[in-house]
């Protein structure tokens, strides 16, 4: 029985993707990072392709499903939106370039692109659902949804890393 669990491989994969980009997602690099053999990798994954798919599913679970679950602990849509944004701000500071690297990967691989697009649509639809309760006019909820989603994406592309205070400033109109 290998010393580590499948989730540790996936966590390490996301960490490498965040810090070094898609080219770091090689079996040998993962093994070196975890100080394990290729045999240990193949105990959990039949192929690199299976690892990549599992990695994307893990990313979706951690950064979409869990975010939605945590946001749903709020009582009102405004409170849920605030919890969602606070979680996103924390992640922007902790995860660095992960979303950008996922997006780059999606532009280079058709299968990854399809998966990532579905995740982005899931996120956007959840955001719109919350905003429809806050903004009664359909166009207002859609407009604010596009603004918020664009802000989230734009933060990753900003010319420098923003401070936590600057992130709060950007999103303050939607908090509370």
Which one is predicted more confidently, 113 or 156? Answer: 113
CB 146, CB 139: distance < 8 Å = no
Question: Which pTM does this prediction carry?
Answer: 0.90
Instruction: List pLDDT tens digits, range 82-126.
Output: 999 999 988 887 767 888 899 999 999 999 999 999 999 999 999
Query: Is the residue at 100 inside a domain?
Result: yes
Residue 109, phi then psi, degrees to nearest 5: -140, 120
Measured distance CA(74)–CA(4) in Å, rounded: 35
Q: How many CB atoms lie within 10 A of CB 93?
A: 13
CB 116, CB 59: distance < 8 Å = no
Instruction: List pLDDT tens digits, range 20-63.
Output: 999 999 999 999 999 999 999 999 999 999 999 999 999 999 99
Give the chain's largest Cα–Cα span. Answer: 57
Question: Which residue range(s) make up the domain with 98?
Answer: 6-174
Q: Which two tokens stand for residue 27?
A: 């079996």
Query: Is the residue at 125 inside a domain?
Result: yes
Query: Is the residue at 67 inside a domain?
Result: yes
User: How many domains is the chain partitioned into structurally?
Assistant: 1
Measured distance CA(172)–CA(5) in Å, rounded: 39
Please check the confidence at residue 1 and state whether its pLDDT lies above 50. no
Measured distance CA(95)–CA(70) in Å, rounded: 18
- Please report which confidence band the pLDDT of residue 11 belongs to, taking 50, 70 and 90 as the band edges: very high
CATH number, position 64: 1.10.357.10
Please check the confidence at residue 4 and state whether its pLDDT lies above 80. no
Q: Give the DSSP letter of residue 5.
A: -
Torsion angle defined by CA atoms of residues 6, 53, 48 and 59, in that order, rounded to the nearest 10 degrees: -60
Query: Is the residue at 1 inside a domain?
Result: no
Q: In the prediction, which pLDDT does 2 show?
A: 47
- Please report which confidence band the pLDDT of residue 160 belongs to, taking 50, 70 and 90 as the band edges: confident
Q: Which two tokens stand for residue 119?
A: 């995740």
Looking up tokens 């996301």 gives 14
């Amino acid at each position: 029985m290998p010393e580590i669990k499948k989730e540790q491989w996936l966590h390490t994969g996301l960490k490498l993707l965040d810090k070094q980009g898609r080219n770091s997602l090689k079996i040998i690099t993962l093994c070196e990072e975890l100080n394990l053999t290729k045999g240990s990798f193949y105990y959990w994954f039949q192929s690199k392709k299976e690892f990549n798919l599992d990695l994307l599913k893990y990313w979706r679970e951690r950064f979409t499903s869990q975010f939605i679950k945590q946001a749903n602990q709020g009582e009102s849509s405004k409170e849920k939106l605030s919890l969602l944004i606070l979680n996103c701000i924390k992640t922007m500071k902790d995860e660095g370039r992960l979303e950008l690297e996922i997006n780059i990967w999606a532009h280079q691989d058709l299968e990854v692109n399809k998966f990532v697009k579905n995740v982005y649509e899931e996120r956007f639809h959840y955001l719109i659902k919350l905003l429809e309760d806050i903004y009664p006019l359909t166009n207002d909820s859609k407009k604010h949804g596009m603004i918020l989603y664009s802000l989230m994406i734009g933060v990753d592309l900003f010319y420098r890393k923003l401070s936590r205070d600057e992130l709060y400033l950007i999103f303050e109109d939607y908090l509370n």
